[in-house]
Amino acid sequence: MDWLVAARKAKHALFLTRKRGRRAYVQCRDVAFTVYDSLVPHRFDMDRHRNSWGELPRMYFLHRDPPAGARTDLTVPRVIYAVWTGNNPLTPNRIRGLEALREKNPTTTLILVTPENLHEYEVDGAPIHPSYEHLSLNHRSDYLRAYLMHHHGGGYSDIKVATQPWTAAFDQIDSDDRLWAVGYQEVGSDRCGGRDAGLGHEIRRRYRSIIGFGAFICRPGTPLTAEWLRELDRRLDYYAEELAEHPGNTWGDNPGYPILWIELGSDVFNPLQLKYLKHIGQNAVVFPELDNHR
């Protein structure tokens, strides 16, 4: 069976070569995108993305006016929200992440939202979407960060190890009324959403100007958060029947579950940042450890 061993080794070597080649390609592409972003001023103009028939990309929600009641003058509370959306216990790595958030931010209130206390943060007259209970645990987190940031504001962090105190980022958004969100610079174009938009390439070219989805601070009630939450509610309306028939498991990888991995996440959050890029600020202090968190 020496030939079988050799074949497996050859297959593995080919896999590693392709992986290294893909990594090198993305790194070179990101260098080119960085140059483009630094030289070409950003201008939000969806009309230039029309196809040859004059049709707009499917992310038409970017054209809509903000919902009534959106505003830009609310203060940002010194609170960091984290969410744990299932009844399963926190893993040791998640416990380590929560402890790090507390240790790095001793003067900031840290709130862990769970199924037991979620009702405390649901706003009268603005109920959480009824299909929320049918979402995967991962997609519940995607939905809740939009809900919490719009209705309450403050910070949000995935349950990952914080690397620095967030004080400077809170100070930054407090001192600049122009800012509606502050977060860490997106780490690479391959992490960007918007693939269902016709805007995906533009988002990737601007990846250094947008913020990542894992940790950020938002001013409550702004057009950014209002449109973000409205689009998530619209998507849950669309998927309601399928979700009821095939509710999600932890990761949403069970048969029949209809929502793709980032469809409620950066596929909405990233395009909206392009629309409101002048209101987005960056600060590296909120950057968490991205690995070994499960």
pLDDT of residue 294 exceeding 50? yes
The mean pLDDT value for 56-71 works out to 81
Q: What is the pLDDT of residue 56?
A: 62
Q: What is the pLDDT of residue 67?
A: 95
pLDDT band at residue 64 under the 50/70/90 scheme: confident
Q: What is the pLDDT of residue 16?
A: 42
Q: Which CATH code of 3.30.420, 1.10.10, 3.90.550, 3.40.50 fits the domain covering 57-286?
A: 3.90.550
Q: What is the mean pLDDT of the chain?
A: 88
Query: Could you tell me what percent of the chain has a pLDDT over 70?
Result: 82
**So where are the chain's domains?**
1-40, 57-286
* pTM of the predicted model as reported, rounded to 2 decimal places: 0.88
Give tens-digit pLDDT for 224-258: 999 999 999 999 999 999 999 999 999 999 999 99
Phi, psi (degrees; rounded to nearest 5) at 47: -60, -30
Give tens-digit pLDDT for 168-204: 999 999 999 999 999 999 988 777 776 655 677 788 8
3-state secondary structure of 112: strand
Q: What is the pLDDT of residue 13?
A: 44
Radius of gyration of the chain measured on its C-alpha atoms:
20
Query: Which residues face 282 on adjacent strands?
Result: 183
Distances (CA, A) of 281 to 173, 219, 284: 8, 12, 10
Cα distance between residue 230 and residue 70, in whole Å: 11
Give tens-digit pLDDT for 10-40: 454 444 455 455 566 666 767 776 777 777 8
Single out the residue of 281, 278, 62, 37 nearest to residue 182, CA to CA. Answer: 281
